[in-house]
Amino acid sequence: MKDNFSDQSKDYAKFRPHYPSELFDFLISLTSQQARAWDCGTGNGQVAVELANHFEHVYATDISENQIREAIKKPNITYEIVRAEHTAFPDNYFDLITVAQAIHWFDFDSFYREVTRLLKPAGIFAVIGYPLLQVTPEIDIIIHEFYERTLNGYWDPERKYLDENYETIPFPFKRLSTPAFKMEISWTLADLTGFLNTWSAVQHFIRKNGVNPVNDVLPKLKNVWPSEEIKKIIFPIILLVTRKEDHLAH
């Protein structure tokens, strides 16, 4: 598992979008018990915090100490700096395991073995993610050009899995049918700028070149987005869900 987000952990906590409550209601509806949940690759804990509203206890793990430091605290959440592929949790321990916007960084085979070991019988495993945001056609063109051209060569190879909506990740489990979910938020241009700065490719670009590429794309965005104007942002949600009893042999 790679750690690409420690350096901008504060911005990550501030600017990353939050998943809708309907998504968690759906996942909870699939579980027969709500004793313990594990959110792996928890980042700033945004999923763990939502799960804590439903489960007696939530364990949230990440390899980034800085991310864990910035995570939102609740009495029934235990944060730990642990690799998702190797934990000390007991067998058959969790009713729900989630991984949001992170599975593409994991070693798939090792992680899936851990998921299978840790889920209770009939437990639920959910993979959550989101690809590029959608604003307006003219803004989307600018963002796509920045994403594909300016940052070409700066994205880690694993990013392709998100571009392909997780359809190409190894997933040796029977998928349950899921509704379509999306995140809808209201942002100013400053909010968008903060979000772009959390991109791992932007950080790679800065480390290599000593300049922030977001500063170059900002004038183009300002031409079509007045600085104080609030716009609706949509992030389509990717969701893969399986139940332990449906797991295929692997």
Specify the CATH number for the domain of residue 235: 3.40.50.150
* Residue 250's pLDDT band (cuts 50, 70, 90): very low
Average pLDDT, stretch 178-200? 94
Which tens digit of pLDDT belongs to each residue from 128-150? 999 999 999 999 999 999 999 99
Tell me, what's the pLDDT at 154? 97
Task: Provide the domain limits for residue 117.
Answer: 9-246
Does residue 205 lie in a domain region? yes
- The verdict on residue 70 lying in a domain is yes
In a domain, 49, yes or no: yes
In a domain, 50, yes or no: yes
Q: Does any domain span residue 3? A: no
Q: Tell me if 126 is assigned to some domain.
A: yes
Q: How do residues 88-140 score in pLDDT, each as one tens digit? A: 999 999 999 999 999 999 999 999 999 999 999 999 999 999 999 999 999 99
**Would you say residue 205 has pLDDT above 80?**
yes
Residue 42 in contact with residue 99, Cβ under 8 Å?
A: no
In a domain, 4, yes or no: no
For residue 247, the model assigns a pLDDT of 52
Q: Rounded distance, CA 133 to CA 196, Å?
A: 11
Q: Is residue 2 part of a domain?
A: no
Q: Terminal CA-to-CA distance of the chain, rounded, Å?
A: 21
Q: Looking at the 3D structure of the chain, how many domains does it have? A: 1
